[in-house]
Amino acid sequence: MRGNVSRRPAGREQGGRVRVEPGGYLIEVRPGESLIQAAWREGYEWPTLCFGMGTCTACQCEVLDGLENVSDKTEAENAMLGDLARRRRRIDPRRVRLACQVRITGDIEVRKPGVRIAENQTAERSGP
C-alpha cells in the first residue's frame, strides 16, 4: 500500500482501509469507528489489555503510510503515549497511535505484530 494511499478531501465521510503488517490483513474501517473496533467487527484479534478504553498501550501501532489520514491524538492517547515516546526513541512518536482511539479519513498502513484472525473466525472461514 505504500505510495498508493488515497487522499480524501476534508469534509468527506470518514473511514477507509487499513493494511496491517506484518500479517498483510486488510481491514475496512467505517465512519466514526476506531481501528480496533473495525478489527473486532471483521473477526480479528488485536492485542489489548483494557479492551478499547484507552487506558493501556497494548493496542499501539505504528503508522507506516497515510499519516495525513489519521485523526488527531485524543487526550487518552497523549496521556498514555507520552511516557512510551520517551522510552522508544527509534520510532517517530507522531507515528505511534492507539488502535482503540484512532479514526481514519482515508487509507493507511500500520505495523502491529500480534494481530491475527480470531479462532472462531478461522473455523467459520475454513468451513465444516
What domains can be seen in the chain, in order of their start residue? 16-126 (3.10.20.30)
Q: Are the beta carbons of 117 and 43 closer than 8 angstroms?
A: yes
Rounded Cα distance, 117 and 56, in Å:
22
Q: What is the pLDDT tens value at each position of the chain, 128 positions in all? A: 555 544 444 444 689 999 999 999 999 999 999 999 999 999 999 999 999 999 999 999 999 999 999 999 999 899 888 876 666 667 788 899 999 999 999 999 999 999 999 987 654 544 44
Residue 104 DSSP one-character state: B
- Residue pair 101/63 in contact by the 8 Å Cβ criterion: no
Query: Which helix H or strand E contains 110, and what residues bound it?
Result: strand 108-111
Residue among 54, 56, 6, 5 at smallest CA distance from 34: 54
